[in-house]
Structure formats: C-alpha cells, structure tokens
Structure 1
C-alpha cells in the first residue's frame, strides 16, 4: 500500500496563503471574486492557485471546510438534543447565517448536491440530509405541516440569507413569521 507523502513546506504555505486570501476576497467581493486577484494577494502565480484548487468550487469548498464541519456538527446536536420545533428554528437560522457569509454563497448552496464531481457536492448533500432529518422530526412532532417540503425550507433559508445581508433583524422576523405559518395548514 503506497504511503501518502506530506506536501512540501512551501506548497503547504502557499495553500494556506491562498486560503487566507480567498477568505478575504470572498468576504469583500463574494464567491465570484477574481481568482487572479486572490493569487496575487497570496503572492503566488495563478498557476499555483490552480495547482492547489483546479476549480473555483474546490477553493470555495476548502475555505468553507471548517465552517461546514461546525455547521453540520451543530445540526446533529440540534437533532439529538433539542425539541423538534426548536431544532428546526435553530437549523434554519444557522443555515441562513452561514449562507450569508459571502455574497453568492446562498446560490451555490441552493443548487443542492448537483454535479457529483463538484467539490461542494458532499457538503450540499450533507446539508440537504440534515435539513430533511430535522424537518421530518418536526413533522412527526406536529411542529411542521406535512405539506411543507424540504425545498420550501431551503427556499426560506436562502431568502433569509439574502435578507440577512440587508438587515439581520428583518431576516430573523422573516424566519419566525414563515415558520409560524408552516406549522398549520392555511385554508381559504
């Protein structure tokens, strides 16, 4: 069985500088930030960026790795330890705040698992699975109407993420009002 070699120290430093520069660029310019500018800010050639991260999605996924691990751990904890209604509300809030981290991130995550070759595929699938399990628990407990789909919740998360960029308070109000409306069927 071949052993995996550790990356050279200079390659590791380049990757770390690229991730730090990408974090800054994504916060400032959104997920469509110029890859050339990211490479320049890291002090490397754009070819070095592509050597570490062959696609934009690979760079975004690497920047989000720690944040996603924390988000998914939080979702598992909510599912295991919180009453279903509170778990649902907290999960929707957490996903909305997460998706508001960078302009354009909500759209990438909303695309769902999509292309299995995408570096974001696994994380999108994990987010969809957690949303499904938390929503199913809320439905069983009567805290979410049976007609509300997982896609409805994802739409709410993305709308709240966009709103969060404008007003955090308005985003919270949107989540609270919408989830209240999703508890019981609205009849005409």
Structure 2
C-alpha cells in the first residue's frame, strides 16, 4: 500500500474508532469520512461496507483477547483465568457501543467479515471454560456458545441506559452462575 493510502487507512481507523465509541456501530459512514478529512469514496475504497470497517477495528481487539486467553490460561488457576478473560472480553467489547448485535450475527454467518475473528475469540474462551470444567470449577452444562452469549449479554447490559452503574454487580452475578461454589 502506498504511504498516502496507508496514512488514509490508519486515519480512517482511528477516526472510526472514536466515532463508533461515541455514537455506536450505526454511526454514519459519511460522518466518519468527513471527520477523517477524506471523501466518502475514499472511505469506501478502504472499507467497502460497514462490516469491513468494524472487522478492521475489532480484529486487533479480538486478536488481543485471544492472546490474553492463552496468557491467563498459562498463568492463572482455571476459575481465575476464566473470570479474568470474561472481564477483559466485556471491557474490550464495551468500547464500541452496539457491537454485540454485530458479533452475534457474525458468528453465525461464515460470509461475514467478522466471522473468523469472532469464532477464534469464542474458541479461546471455550478453552478457558473447558479447563475450568475439567477442574470442576465451572458448570458442566455450558459450552462455548453459551459462554459467548453470556459474555455478550454482559456487554449489552453495559450499553443500556441506566444499567451502566450496575454492570459490575451484574458481571459478578453472571460469573457466579458460570463458576461453581468450588471456584475461588
């Protein structure tokens, strides 16, 4: 990619991240382009659809969550690792208002630009859940899809007006439903 094209690409991602953080995933593509100081055609040349832009923004975050799962898996007891990763998942995905719906749709749609990132991230969480289950620290009747749905629900709760202040409490409620009494 040419240097000016790379600069436009990077500026578009930075601006899109800020705009989507503020306005949510349905933010105007035209507004993103305008705030980045480029035309809509330039934005669409780099990101031909909103989902492609979201995928580019989220891929790095999802890759970091996948790496974080491996890190906590190797450094923390199973229950603690699962709790830490769930907290990181909620924190990361809460950065972009409204992303939960896009993630839930993408994981079911192999044609989605977000699909591979979501599947890889869910697999990382599933490994942590399985490890906690093997140690008899997590409910045996949950699978990776359940964990992804519950983690996504936690993010959604934080997006709801009036529930932001309850998010930490609700996180603990959900985690206590996932982890058994044997977890510490």
Higher Cα radius of gyration: 1
Say what the alpha-carbon RMSD is for the aligned residues: 2.0
Match of 2:28?
34
Contact 1:61 1:119 in 2 (8 A): yes
Q: Does 1:176 align with 2:183?
A: no
CA shift for structure 1 position 160 = 1.6
Contact 2:106 2:112 in 1 (8 A): no
Match of 1:86?
80
Contact 2:158 2:164 in 1 (8 A): yes
Contact 2:123 2:144 in 1 (8 A): no
Secondary structure, counterpart of 1:171 in structure 2: helix
Match of 2:132?
138
| Structure 1, 9-18 or 23-32: larger mean CA deviation | 9-18
Q: Could you list the runs of 5+ residues in structure 1 that have no partner in the other structure? A: 1-6
| Structure 1, 146-155 or 40-49: larger mean CA deviation | 146-155
4+ runs of 1 displaced by more than 4 Å? 166-169
Distance 1:178 1:122, change over 3 A: same
Counterparts of 1:104 and 1:52 in 2: how far apart (Å)? 22
CA shift for structure 1 position 53 = 0.9
CA shift for structure 1 position 184 = 4.5
Counterparts of 1:112 and 1:183 in 2: how far apart (Å)? 27
Aligned residues: 179
Match of 1:97?
91
Match of 2:66?
72
Secondary structure, counterpart of 2:108 in structure 1: coil
CA shift for structure 1 position 95 = 0.8
Name the one with the larger helix percent: 2
CA shift for structure 1 position 86 = 0.5
Please give the TM-score of this superposition, normalised by the length of structure 1: 0.86
Q: Could you list the runs of 5+ residues in structure 2 that have no partner in the other structure? A: none
